[in-house]
Structure 1
């Protein structure tokens, strides 16, 4: 490649191809998914599929970013800007881990890491459409909570990043290194609850 970011051609069968590709990627993963199976699941010819997407890697990222955007939007809807920090942070933490620990989320992260050197725009786009959107919503919440004198945060951007890292303690490394491939709701809630306590111990108004 010459470094130019590929572009998907939007058309009447675009959503149809995305839906078919999602089915196959979830079933077979990125490496195992074949273009033939994706075309069949989408109800289109291989020629039609390639007319929309230049290669399988780019198709995967289109699928991943569209799903990540949907999940992020759903997560944002759970953040009630009028509620107290413990409530909001708990919901946000559970939503964040839901995105990261989903089957497609994990596959996407691994592909992004594996392809980051050759195709850095793929990882950037995934991060922008998912984690960055949720991060931005948290920052807006921090500003409002400080105005209500519920939080005292010198740097909201850093605080949002810190909270995200607290939520990834223990479980995230175990996913990345293949020690586990799933987490129960109770395990996620336990990690998030401790993350919230730690965060509020630092930033809650006294």
Structure 2
């Protein structure tokens, strides 16, 4: 059963090179510190080529965020059988989400959006729409199916999705975002993900 449609639109190798260069520089220097010159250099293209795809740095930042979050979502959805029991679906989703939340990309983009929130609120809005909001919407598709099948209680699926996401942030994410801990073992990640699954099943599973 198809539950999503990729929004990616292939535009050629140079376009991908620009995104790759921008990703590298944004992660290294943040939004304000990233220069178009550095992005073009990292991408191996001219500034004219870069501007032929993107009108400004903000548009480029939004596209890098969209593509990366879309890639994570597609990878996760490819692993999920939406006809499987809730435990199996939640377990796959929890492990994927927890790892993504702790990834260097996710952490750096979050820090950048918070740092620039006052001057460029659209950056945070773009990250939210392409990350948490997109993930929530896709989880809701599954939750509605599970509720219809009588596998989950008939509770607001949006709320279930929001709470599930927050459970995957327990313990490790706050340590990561504040730099208290910079690396995490598989055991630590599995513990958070498994507790998220058990908690949501205890509350919502029939």
Q: State TM-score, norm by structure 2.
A: 0.83
Structure 1, 72-81 or 100-109: larger mean CA deviation = 72-81
Deviations, residues 110-136 of structure 1 (Å, cap 9, x unaligned): 111122232222222222222222212
User: Structure 1 184/55 Cα, relative in aligned 2: closer, same or farther at 3 Å?
Assistant: farther
Deviant stretches of 4+, over 4 Å: 31-34
User: Structure 2 unaligned runs (5+)?
Assistant: 1-9
Superposed CA RMSD in Å reads 2.3
The equivalent of 2:5 in structure 1 is none
Partner of 2:177: 176
1:7 paired residue number: none
Aligned to 2:7: none
Q: What are the residue-to-residue correspondences of 1:67-86 with 2, within 5 Å? A: 67-86=68-87
For the Cα contact (< 8 Å) 1:96–1:131, is it kept in 2? no
Query: 1:62: which partner in 2?
Result: 63
Instruction: Look up the SS of the partner of 1:157 in the other structure.
Output: helix
Kindly state the Cα deviation for residue 65 of structure 1 after the two structures are TM-superposed. 2.1
**Alpha-carbon deviation of 1:11?**
6.7
Structure 1 residue 140 corresponds to structure 2 residue 148: no
Q: Distance in 2 between matches of 1:143 and 1:97?
A: 22
Contact 1:71 1:130 in 2 (8 A): no
- Whole-angstrom CA distance in 2 between matches of 1:45 and 1:23: 16
Deviation of the 1:99 alpha carbon: 2.3
Structure 1 residues 24-66: Cα deviation after superposition (integer angstroms, max 9, x where no partner):
444x242664433321222222344345434444433322221
Q: Is the 8 A contact 1:166 1:195 kept in 2?
A: yes
Give the alignment of 1:52-131 within 5 angstroms.
52-131=53-132
List per-residue Cα deviations over 1:131-185 (Å, max 9, x = no partner). 2222122212222222332211321111110111111111111112111123222
SS in 1 for 2:99: helix
> Secondary structure at the residue paired with 1:130?
helix
TM-score (norm 1): 0.83
Partner of 1:18: 19
Tell whether the 8 Å contact from 2:101 to 2:169 is kept in structure 1 after alignment: no
Provide structure 1 residue ranges, at least 5 long, that are not aligned to the other structure: 1-9
> Quick one: distance in 2 between partners of 1:186 and 1:135?
26
- Map of 2:3 onto structure 1: none
